[in-house]
Structure 1
Amino acid sequence: MIKHKDHFHGSDLEKIEKIYGIKKENIISFSANVNPLGISPLLRDGIAKHIDCITTYPDRDYVELRNSIASYCNTELENIIVGNGSTELISLFIQILKPSKALVLGPTYSEYEREIALGGGKTIYYPLREENDFILDPNHFISKLSEDIDMLVICNPNNPTGTAIDNKDMRLILDACKECDIFVMVDETYVEFAENVNKISSVGLTRTYGNIAILRGTSKFFAAPGLRLGYAICSNTDLMQKVNQRKDPWTINSIAVVAGNLMFKDTSYIEETKNLIKNERERLFKIFEESDRFKPYWPQGNFMLLKILEDGLTSQELFDRCIKKGLMIRDCSTFPYLGENYIRFCFMNPADNDKLVTELLA
């Protein structure tokens, strides 16, 4: 097991406030990877009108909500299960599949390893290599698969590298995993920020592959981490039945049901988000690409990984410098395979992004 160091999560503003003496209201969080537009206008207006929903239990099968998700993702209702954030669903799938040995693409989110360990399983990592700009070589990766591996976990686009695996390469991986009887869990938390979602998302592959489950949430793209609404897409009927049997009833509250039915239909908000992220991604990548202090890695999501090129400057020093100006970035030294010369930041509105650029290039 790889040792993960402590770090500040994007939601740890109370800790920041206490340690640095900065009011959390004055902190711009470039660490949380949340849509800078805030919540959907349809959601903001609609929740108040539907507040009486809390006087009744939600539909136990969440049919209306699952229909909204199915329409949004262009998939089938029967292949969707909802949960109390994608975190609950990650836990449920791992609990049921009980992998004794899981392979995870790293560096990445540490919660996968934690859940696997809680079930008594062992995690091994396949490292994305810096010399390849953290882009996966599918043929080399497939050569490392073996029948003693039970589960493969992929974050796509990956956090913190921002790199992604397209459908063509994912098919190769799924075929190889099928031969080795490996189940593939794909976390698509950031896929909706990608410029070409259909090229990267594996939702369409669930129609022909039964050894894959896709997990998504509404925390990042829809700026609603407090809503705790997540969903999974999988065509493996037996597995989905087991997940449903294990899952507690009504883990999604009535307000989250109303919210989901509203936000997934807010096409103007969705399009505005995609345009904002696309424009800022291209603009900021060019700025740092032309800098001699950082190396940026082209991201498919709403955040960018930077390698510090200045001798003697560490990610912790940059974090301290930025937080004292009310700008919270992510010190990436806590991720496996990344040292003290990597930082990550998400794309906020242009004015806030300019403040961060000014501080980083000062």
Structure 2
Amino acid sequence: MTQKSEHFHGSDLEKIEEIYHIPREEITSFSANVNPIGISPKLRTTLARHIDDITGYPEREYTSLRKCIASYVDTDFKNIIVGNGSTELISLFIQILKPHKALILGPTYSEYEREVTLAGGTSRYYRLDESHGFSIHVDALSRQLNETIDLLIICNPNNPTSTAISRSDMRQILDTCKENGIYVLVDETYVEFAGNLQDITAIPLAQYYNNIIVLRGISKFFAAPGLRLGYAVCGNRDLIKEVVGHQDPWTINTLAAIAGEIMFTDEEYIAHTRQLISSERERICRTLDNFSGLTYYPPKANFILLKILKDDVTAMDVFEAAIQKKLMIRDCSDFPFLNNKYFRFCIMMPDKNDELLAVIQKLLG
């Protein structure tokens, strides 16, 4: 048994193997939020043909890759910068912007606060309202946005709540931020899983607002975290130029750049992923509706946040019961504003989803 204070993330399979003596390859991770289909079949069959390309340097400005991404997200390739995962780009933009004070919508991913601190700034959180399903109140948020804030950070859809802000609401937020000289960093890591993608993505707004940076990557939707490829869309060409100027050359390796071009054009894989996540998300939620010992927050992404209603059950209890079945969920008690009654799991293949639901039902049904 592990210590109750220990938390495991989606990449912690080695720790799980050591503590629970379960081979990591036998564990189904409902914690990592990665596409259960795996990598693009088109990528699997074609990438090996490009192995000889590693004998040369990557294209210095990644123009071909950026044009491919631009076609995928429908924007000008000159508005795109690529990086070694979205993590590098979060770090670079925050280093350049040097915010004295950042406002972060939370509970959310801890890396944002860490990067602000490393850049010499301070952060405070705008607490999402649980009584309204962790949804945003734009007017209430706008009252918190003033000249003392340099940077607003939004994960959309948000991790771990799986809630999302509509593009119309995002536009209102951007207007307020523009009035107060505030940059807005929007992390869209999970937006491609959303059923109403076009109503959520803020990428079209980058054409009209020079104070927004939209981040995406291939780790989750394209199930390729090991390739370390991320990109940002920003209409502020001066800011992009400054970020590129601080970026190490050839930050994306040759095979990752080629892989990106292959994945972004695999339309059958993209459509299959969206259909699978949409149908399973609906089915899982209808099943959870029948469980009396928990509540969940209507999800927009490929994962669901749940709250335990039973006094004698904690998120660690759910974790322990699931890991004994070689299923790994995420105890969310280390997120800001959450406690040991919250856990999260992502959508996997139907048979594995059913296995996890059976574990949850035994404890909370």
- Determine the structure 2 residue equivalent to 1:287: 287
Residues 1:304 and 2:298 are matched in the alignment: no
Residues 1:347 and 2:360 are matched in the alignment: no
Structure 2: distance between partners of 1:105 and 1:56:
43
Aligned residue for 2:215, secondary structure, equals strand
Offset of residue 291 of structure 1 = 1.2
- Determine the structure 1 residue equivalent to 2:58: 58
Offset of residue 290 of structure 1 = 2.1
Offset of residue 256 of structure 1 = 0.4
- Determine the structure 2 residue equivalent to 1:22: 22
Aligned residue for 2:333, secondary structure, equals helix
Aligned residue for 2:322, secondary structure, equals helix
Structure 2: distance between partners of 1:170 and 1:92:
23
- Determine the structure 2 residue equivalent to 1:46: 46
Structure 1: distance between partners of 2:293 and 2:68:
45
Structure 1: distance between partners of 2:342 and 2:312:
13
Residues 1:184 and 2:184 are matched in the alignment: yes
* Structure 2 counterparts to residues 188-207 of structure 1, below 5 A: 188-207=188-207
* Structure 2 counterparts to residues 77-156 of structure 1, below 5 A: 77-156=77-156
Aligned residue for 1:50, secondary structure, equals helix
Output the amino acid matched with 1:35: N
Structure 1: distance between partners of 2:148 and 2:128:
21
- Determine the structure 2 residue equivalent to 1:270: 270
- Determine the structure 1 residue equivalent to 2:212: 212
Offset of residue 6 of structure 1 = 5.7
- Decide whether the 8 Å contact of 1:6 with 1:334 is kept in 2: no
Structure 2: distance between partners of 1:7 and 1:57:
40
Output the amino acid matched with 2:196: N
- Determine the structure 1 residue equivalent to 2:325: 325
Stretches of 4+ moved more than 6 A in 1? none
When the two chains are superposed, the root-mean-square deviation of aligned CA atoms in Å is 0.8
Aligned residue for 1:32, secondary structure, equals coil
Q: What do residues 93-128 of structure 1 show as CA deviations (whole Å, max 9, x unaligned)?
A: 000000010000000000000000011110000011
Output the amino acid matched with 1:59: E
Offset of residue 155 of structure 1 = 0.1
- Determine the structure 1 residue equivalent to 2:253: 253
Structure 2: distance between partners of 1:249 and 1:218:
20
**Equivalent pairs, count:** 358
Structure 2: distance between partners of 1:326 and 1:310:
24
Output the amino acid matched with 2:98: K
Structure 1: distance between partners of 2:348 and 2:286:
16
Aligned residue for 1:333, secondary structure, equals coil
Offset of residue 7 of structure 1 = 2.3
TM-score (norm 2): 0.97
- Decide whether the 8 Å contact of 1:206 with 1:213 is kept in 2: yes
Output the amino acid matched with 2:361: L
Q: What do residues 34-70 of structure 1 show as CA deviations (whole Å, max 9, x unaligned)?
A: 0000000110011111111101101000011001100
Output the amino acid matched with 1:48: A
Structure 2: distance between partners of 1:291 and 1:12:
29
Q: What do residues 317-361 of structure 1 show as CA deviations (whole Å, max 9, x unaligned)?
A: 111111111010000001000111111000000000000000010
- Decide whether the 8 Å contact of 1:332 with 1:340 is kept in 2: yes
Offset of residue 20 of structure 1 = 1.1
Output the amino acid matched with 2:78: E
Structure 2: distance between partners of 1:6 and 1:67:
44
Structure 2: distance between partners of 1:148 and 1:56:
48
Q: Which runs of 5+ in 1 are unaligned?
A: none
Q: What do residues 237-264 of structure 1 show as CA deviations (whole Å, max 9, x unaligned)?
A: 1110000000000010000011011000
Residues 1:172 and 2:172 are matched in the alignment: yes
TM-score (norm 1): 0.98
- Decide whether the 8 Å contact of 1:39 with 1:222 is kept in 2: yes
Q: What do residues 285-308 of structure 1 show as CA deviations (whole Å, max 9, x unaligned)?
A: 111122101111111100000111
Structure 2: distance between partners of 1:237 and 1:71:
19
